[in-house]
Amino acid sequence: MAESAPRRCCLGWDFSTQQVKVVAVDAEMNVFYEESVHFDRDLPEFGTRGGVHVHKDGLTVTSPVLMWVQALDIILEKMKASGFDFSQVLALSGAGQQHGSIYWQAGAQQALRSLSPDLPLHQQLQACFSISDCPVWMDSSTTAQCRQLEAAVGGAQALSCLTGSRAYERFTGNQIAKIYQQNPKAYSHTERISLVSSFAASLFLGSYSPIDYSDGSGMNLLQIQDKVWSQACLGSCAPHLEEKLGPPVPSCSVVGAISSYYVQRYRFPPGCKVVAFTGDNPASLAGMRLEEGDIAVSLGTSDTLFLWLQEPMPALEGHIFCNPVDPQHYMALLCFKNGSLMREKIRDEFASCSWSEFSKALQSTEMGNGGNLGFYFDVMEITPEIIGRHRFNTENHKVSAFPGDVEVRALIEGQFMAKRIHAEGLGYRVMSKTKILATGGASHNRDILQEKGALSSYSLGSSSVALELTL
């Protein structure tokens, strides 16, 4: 059999809530290789559901750090077994679920620097973390720390003007403050704190990778205009925090060459560059080549809506992050926690656990749902803070249930309506030329996307909305 010609490429990694994924992209921007490891399915020994552990209080949500490390081992071995030619990889970068934090124990940098190519990473990094279960973006247990931080800087709006967001429970500064207050020993044994993105980059770099401006904006710690850590915020959260975070860098920085571990074990070229990893939403803004005026909807575990901004407009709802492409610009983001997992629940309850039945329900009902409206928040929502299922019939009376098909449509219409209402609250206007781009797992479902386009046109009346799909 003829050998195929070597294909120079870059690798893109995604350490998201439910899985680790990789794509290889060639010089013509063709994605010619994809692989993934799904935490619940492929690493059942960690006992996660949807990639996380929800604690008894219903508010604390964590993920095991060694699960992420082992997922990387598995995916690299899968690539090797498939004959993937690592020697052609010129550079790699990637994304991580935002806000999650990793606590490297004293001595971990040394372990990272002296990895043996004979062993998988997870066997060598077992003793490297002072917190084994890391807080992730779904956590909402830090309300007390949020109020402390806002009080320390002169209130919610003042914090938003400084860091781009009022205090949010999942934002990393508040998570660090909770760990310092509740587990001071683990905090003092920590030599470095990474975000999921900079943690993943560190695994490839074989030393600590810096936090980038864009993902760093999701911490309530970074002054988004000056791009430096806010001394007032650091001081309010925990002592010696600046040295544990390290200086932040622009999102496009080359942070170094790949660790010799990968050169020896997988035959990566020694010059393979590691470009700073960033948050999954900033990475989507960059990867979807979003332009000013466009709006992107990501339908992953969370649903998010984001756009490119020239000037920051910090408010009490939503977030402003540093832009990952142009450090002079910004991006606005809204995050909805009841995204794909809520859709899966309604699918399981009303559409026989099948996406094709779910699609049939959407096809068999009319846009507008005969006046029936529903808002579904099985877990405490972020935008806005609300919980429960709320259904209203055509007479605007609250009801406790809809027929199955109506329920499915009410969920999808309610989700897109909420996105639109909150985006307009941020000052964003859908105009006749607005492109709405979609990404994330549920964007593969054309019937769900149909609703996105239809709802935009529907609520706009005569405006036509171009729907461009990025699958």
Q: Which does 445 bind (CB under 5 to 8 A by kind): ligand 5SP, ligand ADP, none?
A: ligand ADP
Residue 310 CA to residue 43 CA, distance in Å, equals 42
Q: Which does 338 bind (CB under 5 to 8 A by kind): ligand ADP, ligand 5SP, none?
A: none
Binding mask 368-407 for ligand 5SP (x = CB under 6 A): ----------------------------------------
Q: How far is CA 438 from CA 4, 301, 343, 355, 455, in A?
A: 34, 14, 16, 18, 14
DSSP single-letter state for residue 52 = B
Shortest separation between residue 17's beta carbon and ligand 5SP, angstroms: 3
Number of H helices, E strands in the chain: 18, 23
Please provide the DSSP assignment of 182-249 as one string.
H-HHHHHTEEEEEEHHHHHHHHHHTSPPPPBHHHHGGGS-EETTTTEE-HHHHHHH-TTHHHHH---B
Tell me which residues in 218-237 interact with ligand 5SP (CB under 6 A).
218
| Burial of 242 per CB tally in 10 Å (0-12, 13-18, 19+) | middle
> Toward ligand ADP, which CB reaches closer, 64 or 300?
300
Residue 120: asked if its preceding bond is cis (omega within 30°), the reply is: no
Tell me which residues in 167-206 interact with ligand 5SP (CB under 6 A).
170
Q: Which does 441 bind (CB under 5 to 8 A by kind): ligand 5SP, ligand ADP, none?
A: ligand ADP
Nearest position to ligand ADP, beta carbon: 441
439 Cα distance to chain centroid: 12
Shortest separation between residue 152's beta carbon and ligand 5SP, angstroms: 22
Residue 160, interface with ligand 5SP (CB under 6 A)? no
Shortest separation between residue 99's beta carbon and ligand 5SP, angstroms: 5
The contact set with ligand ADP (CB under 6 A) reads 16-19, 300-301, 340, 343-344, 355, 440-442, 444-445, 448
Q: How crowded is residue 397: how many other Cβ atoms within 10 Å of its Cβ?
A: 8
> Toward ligand ADP, which CB reaches closer, 344 or 378?
344
Residue 301, interface with ligand 5SP (CB under 6 A)? yes
Q: Which does 281 bind (CB under 5 to 8 A by kind): ligand ADP, ligand 5SP, none?
A: ligand 5SP
Binding mask 50-79 for ligand 5SP (x = CB under 6 A): ------------------------------
φ, ψ dihedrals at 295, nearest 5°? -135, 135
> Toward ligand 5SP, which CB reaches closer, 175 or 369?
175
Q: Which does 344 bind (CB under 5 to 8 A by kind): ligand 5SP, ligand ADP, none?
A: ligand ADP
Please provide the DSSP assignment of 376-440 as one string.
EESS--SSS---EEEEE-TTS-EES---HHHHHHHHHHHHHHHHHHHHHHTT----TT-EEEEES
Residue 443, interface with ligand 5SP (CB under 6 A)? no
> Toward ligand 5SP, which CB reaches closer, 16 or 174?
16
Q: Which does 140 bind (CB under 5 to 8 A by kind): ligand 5SP, ligand ADP, none?
A: none
Task: Specify which residues 249 forms β-bridges with.
Answer: 212
> Toward ligand 5SP, which CB reaches closer, 51 or 248?
51
Residue 282, interface with ligand 5SP (CB under 6 A)? no
Shortest separation between residue 154's beta carbon and ligand 5SP, angstroms: 24
Residue 174 CA to residue 145 CA, distance in Å, equals 5
Q: Which does 442 bind (CB under 5 to 8 A by kind): ligand 5SP, ligand ADP, none?
A: ligand ADP
**CA-based nearest residue to 202, from 289, 337, 111:** 111
Task: Specify which residues 190 forms β-bridges with.
Answer: 105
Residue 448 CA to residue 426 CA, distance in Å, equals 24
φ, ψ dihedrals at 329, nearest 5°? -110, -175
Among residues 48, 214, 230, 281, the one that binds ligand 5SP under rule CB under 6 A: 281
Q: Which does 19 bind (CB under 5 to 8 A by kind): ligand 5SP, ligand ADP, none?
A: ligand ADP
At 299, which helix (H) or strand (E)?
strand 295-299
Name the H helices within 228-384. Answer: 231-237, 241-245, 260-266, 280-287, 340-350, 355-363
Q: Which does 146 bind (CB under 5 to 8 A by kind): ligand ADP, ligand 5SP, none?
A: none
Residue 48, interface with ligand 5SP (CB under 6 A)? no
Binding mask 120-159 for ligand 5SP (x = CB under 6 A): -----------------x----------------------
Residue 199 CA to residue 215 CA, distance in Å, equals 12
Q: With contact defined as beta carbons under 8 Å apart, do 436 and 423 qualify?
A: no
What residues contact residue 90 under an 8 Å CB cut-off, 6+ apart?
8, 9, 10, 269, 271, 272, 273
Shortest separation between residue 468's beta carbon and ligand ADP, angstroms: 18
Shortest separation between residue 284's beta carbon and ligand 5SP, angstroms: 8
Which residues of the shown chain bind ligand 5SP in the complex (CB under 6 A)?
16-17, 97-99, 137, 170, 218, 279-281, 300-302, 304, 333, 335
